[in-house]
Amino acid sequence: MTETISTTRTGGATAEPSHGEPVMVQLLTPAGERTPDPEHDPLVAALDAEALRERYRAMTLARRLDIEATSLQRQGELALYASSRGQEAAQIGAARGLRPQDHVFPTYREHALAMSRGVAPLDLLRLYRGTSHGGWDAAETNTHGYTLVIGAQTLHATGYAMGVQRDGTVGTGDDDVDTAVVACLGDGATSQGEVNEAMTWAAVFKAPVVFLCQNNQWAISEPNTRQFAAPLTERAAGVGLPSVRVDGNDVIAVEAVVRAAADRARSGGGPTFVEAWTYRVSAHTTSDDTTRYRESDDDALWAPLDPLVRLEAHLRALHAAGSGEDQDVDAFLADVAAEADVLGEALRGDVRDLPDPEPASMFDHVYADRHPLVDEERAWMQDWNAEGDQP
Amino acid sequence: MNTTTLTAPAQAPASSHLTAARERGPHAPTPGGRAAEAVRPTTLTMAAALNAGLRRAMDHDDKVLLMGEDIGALGGVFRVTDGLQRDFGEQRVVDTPLSEAGIVGTATGLAMAGYRPVCEIQFDGFIFPAFNQIVTQLAKMRSRTSGATSLPVVVRVPFGGGIGAVEHHSESPEALFSHVPGLRVVSPASPQDAYWMIQQAITSDDPVMVFEPKRRYWDRGPVELAGRDRGRVRALDEAPPLHSARVVAAGSDVTVLAYGPTVRVALDAAVTARAEGTSVEVVDLRSMSPLDLPTIEASVRRTGRCVVVHEAPTFLGLGAELAARITESCFHHLEAPVLRVGGFAVPYPVARVEEHYLPDADRVLDAVDRALAY
């Protein structure tokens, strides 16, 4: 089934590559069949049926977040939403390939990854409701805030990794100490100068970075062909980064590949570029309209490649083979669906209950130390608003 | 009114022995790599004073890192970091790729990891590749994270003209950064201020842009170096606050506001004016964001007249903000409109004619005369 996801015909990126396409790591076919891979199998040897059900559950909850958030935007409760639908395997697999002490610098579409790292779903929506430019404390999950300027966070991740090097928390051999840093990015971001600078810096300084590029085929309306004329893995090789393309809709393969890359980073082996080959099922954001630029058969092409579809098929096969859990797969799916319903219901209430911040709070945290202009203007606003409150 | 000859820099007595050599250790070089180690001068160039300030900051805090192009073995193109990589190693004095966005972007990440990076942008005109990182990330990260993330990043920028350079090497982009909430913007005008202000900038938990007047790098001046366990030297917290302006020449007829390279220009103008019977007060702003308005306003209320001098184009320069502010707060004290002396609304010109672009003492005196004529 690998040829179904042939890299020469993906989404709108229909041009024949002028260079040889890289081999794509795939451990679970779209039909849900586990394919042997001596190099990567040891990295996911612990993924028994229970662990795979946990990943299915995580992907399902993330998808429910996308569905609920999109609905909330349509109801006017969110200003905007950027769905991660279709990219659940790339993100959950990546999260599971990391350790708690690892740091993640996400884009604005890393909902599944962030949830999987422990960020509360409600916190992910504060930005989109317009009550916060951030939403959560990065120190609690080592998952940093969303970055909206495309690619800017890749330099922060690289700098953070240079700090890890100076802290001496790389290459000690202690699994609980050595730290990898993940720089998330998309296919469009690879055209940014800053991303190429980050890759160069990470390679030059051998910083413990994993560049996790989710190639979802589309940068708003522009396909891969408008972003690069050679495979991204070649780009990585050009700056001295080992690279790998992985089937981003295969949660097992992504976990294996990211685990290998993170292990390498933590051991002092330096950075790796991972291209997770996936598909943005939804529009870029709720403000976007894919009918203006995307062919309907793109969706049809990718629908059978859906990460949840193939994992469900695999879970059924495992159960049928007697190597799975006692619980029937349908009963498990019903449990997960019920849990997703609970999440959805809670979000519908909690998002509406998110309070607007105090207006004068916009003056808080502009600076660490006092700043006379900020103080002056805060006082002005408070006076102005106080006068407005008077009869 | 010929003021083209600059005032000779003050020279401190060579017999003084107050330097940082002892606190640096026996093998440390004299700041700036000049003179013999045994000599402890109190007169330093601005470049050497910056070097001494950086050295002291690195001595005091292991988290302080220097990052920039050619700042290691070369010591920076202006030698401000001379000898520091040799003494602190390549992990703390980092020769970076030729990548300004990378410098500021990774510095932001390092700050998030608990470090205090000091970035050197080689020349003013090369800061723009880093503009995105400075404006959209460095300046906003604290607010974005509701105060959870401190960004103790210093960005050093040699700026201004008058050195006969090629394009992009003589610019004054300070207003662009002063306009950005979240940044602090300062400019030292003397070796002593350079020594204190670079250290204060490094201890700030906010991002600080330090615009260093490159044509003053080699001007010498007295520098009181701080030391530990020395009764007669000042500690960092005894230095003037980073964001305070200072009256550097007292006068009663007109206030001239200047910063960085034009402080000297203003002082020269004040000397000439005094000979002609006009008392000019010169205020060195030192900080462009925030502005020390109380000091500025107190001076303007005394004199009733104000001239602002900077090399940057006058249009929407610091002078525009100062004129607006002073008009609002000192309206009833003003005897004349606030006048501006600055660069023109043109790309910085070629070296052969830059003297016609840069504000000089004659142009300052002309503005002083116009203010007095109201």
Cβ pair B96, B65 in contact under 8 A: no
Sorted by sequence, the CB contacts under 8 Å of residue B75 that are 6+ apart come out as B33, B81, B82, B83, B84, B85
Cβ pair B113, A163 in contact under 8 A: yes
Residues in chain B closer than 8 A to A373 (CB atoms)? 289-291
CB-nearest to A155 from B102, B148, B182 is B102
Catalytic machinery residues of B? 169
Helix, strand or coil for residue B365? helix
* Mean pLDDT within A349-370: 97
What pLDDT score does A364 carry?
97
Contact check, Cβ <8 Å, B143/A372 = no
Residue B237 pLDDT grade (very low, low, confident, very high; cuts 50, 70, 90): confident
Contact check, Cβ <8 Å, B144/A204 = no
B359 pLDDT exceeds 70?
Answer: yes
Contact check, Cβ <8 Å, B146/A157 = no
CB-nearest to B109 from A158, A366, A374 is A158
CB-nearest to A133 from B111, B143, B184 is B143
A13 pLDDT exceeds 90?
Answer: no
Q: In this structure, how many other beta carbons lie within 10 angstroms of the beta carbon of residue A63?
A: 22
Whether residue A256 lies within 8 A of chain B, CB to CB, comes out as: no
d(CA B160, CA B212): 8
What pLDDT score does A7 carry?
39
- List the beta bridge partners of residue A247: A277
Whether residue A198 lies within 8 A of chain B, CB to CB, comes out as: yes
Task: Count how many pairs of residues, chain A against chain B, have C-beta atoms within 8 Å.
Answer: 137
Residue A296 pLDDT grade (very low, low, confident, very high; cuts 50, 70, 90): confident
Residues in chain A closer than 8 A to B137 (CB atoms)? 147, 149, 152, 156
CB-nearest to A155 from B101, B204, B290 is B101
Residue B227 pLDDT grade (very low, low, confident, very high; cuts 50, 70, 90): low
Whether residue A372 lies within 8 A of chain B, CB to CB, comes out as: yes
Shortest distance between the Cα of A19 and any Cα of chain B, in A, equals 29
Whether residue A367 lies within 8 A of chain B, CB to CB, comes out as: yes
Cβ pair B182, B139 in contact under 8 A: yes
DSSP conformation letters of A130-168 = TS-SS-S-HHHHTBPPP--STTHHHHHHHHHHHHHHHHT
Contact check, Cβ <8 Å, B114/A159 = no
Contact check, Cβ <8 Å, A366/B150 = no
What pLDDT score does B226 carry?
75
d(CA A112, CA A100): 16
Residues in chain A closer than 8 A to B136 (CB atoms)? 149, 152
Query: pLDDT of A156-199, one tens digit each?
Result: 999 999 999 999 999 999 999 999 999 999 999 999 999 999 99
Query: pLDDT of B118-136, one tens digit each?
Result: 999 999 999 999 999 999 9
What pLDDT score does A326 carry?
87
SS (H, E, C) B327-349: HHHCHHHCCCCCEEEEECCCCCC
Closest residue, chain A, to B243 (C-alpha): A371
What pLDDT score does A390 carry?
67
Contact check, Cβ <8 Å, A145/B182 = no
Residues in chain A closer than 8 A to B110 (CB atoms)? 159-160, 162-163
What percentage of chain A has pLDDT greater than the value 90? 91
Closest residue, chain B, to A179 (C-alpha): B113
Query: pLDDT of A209-218, one tens digit each?
Result: 999 999 999 9
Query: pLDDT of B7-65, one tens digit each?
Result: 333 333 333 333 333 333 334 444 444 433 333 448 999 999 999 999 999 999 999 99
The ipTM of this complex is 0.93
pTM of the shown model: 0.91
Contact check, Cβ <8 Å, A369/B108 = no
What pLDDT score does B29 carry?
42
SS (H, E, C) B266-312: HHHHHHHHHHCCCCEEEEECCEEECCCHHHHHHHHHHHCCEEEEEEE
Query: pLDDT of B171-186, one tens digit each?
Result: 999 999 999 999 999 9
Contact check, Cβ <8 Å, A194/B133 = yes
Whether residue A364 lies within 8 A of chain B, CB to CB, comes out as: yes
Query: pLDDT of B58-103, one tens digit each?
Result: 999 999 999 999 999 999 999 999 999 999 999 999 999 999 999 9
Contact check, Cβ <8 Å, B105/A147 = no
B350 pLDDT exceeds 70?
Answer: yes
Residue B242 pLDDT grade (very low, low, confident, very high; cuts 50, 70, 90): very high
What pLDDT score does B110 carry?
98
Sorted by sequence, the CB contacts under 8 Å of residue A194 that are 6+ apart come out as A151, A152, A154, A155, B101, B102, B105, B132, B133
What pLDDT score does A391 carry?
62
Closest residue, chain B, to A162 (C-alpha): B110
Whether residue B290 has a cis bond before it, omega within 30° of 0: yes
Whether residue A164 lies within 8 A of chain B, CB to CB, comes out as: yes
A51 pLDDT exceeds 80?
Answer: yes
Query: pLDDT of A119-156, one tens digit each?
Result: 999 999 999 999 999 999 999 999 999 999 999 999 99
Q: Supply the mean pLDDT for chain B.
A: 90
DSSP conformation letters of A37-103 = -TTTGGGGTT--HHHHHHHHHHHHHHHHHHHHHHHHHHTTSSS-----TT-HHHHHHHHHTS-TT-E
Contact check, Cβ <8 Å, B133/A155 = yes
DSSP conformation letters of A250-284 = -HHHHHHHHHHHHHHHHTT---EEEEEE----S-S
CB-nearest to A134 from B129, B145, B206 is B145
A15 pLDDT exceeds 50?
Answer: no
What pLDDT score does A128 carry?
97
Contact check, Cβ <8 Å, A152/B137 = yes
Residue B4 pLDDT grade (very low, low, confident, very high; cuts 50, 70, 90): very low
Closest residue, chain A, to B180 (C-alpha): A366
d(CA A9, CA A11): 7
8-state DSSP, A28: B
Query: pLDDT of A16-43, one tens digit each?
Result: 344 578 999 999 999 999 999 999 999 9
Catalytic machinery residues of A? 280, 284, 293
CB-nearest to B106 from A149, A162, A164 is A162
In angstroms, the Cα distances linking A247 to A26, A306, B75, B257, B314 are: 5, 11, 48, 63, 57
* Mean pLDDT within B216-244: 79
Query: pLDDT of B261-303, one tens digit each?
Result: 999 999 999 999 999 999 999 999 999 999 999 999 999 999 9
Helix (H) or strand (E) holding B49: helix B46-60
CB-nearest to A193 from B101, B111, B113 is B101
Contact check, Cβ <8 Å, A200/B99 = yes
What pLDDT score does A325 carry?
82
d(CA A36, CA A256): 13
Shortest distance between the Cα of A227 and any Cα of chain B, in A, equals 21
Task: Provide the b/e sequence for B142-165 (b: ≥16 CB within 10 Å).
Answer: bbbbbebbbbbbbbbbbbbbbeeb
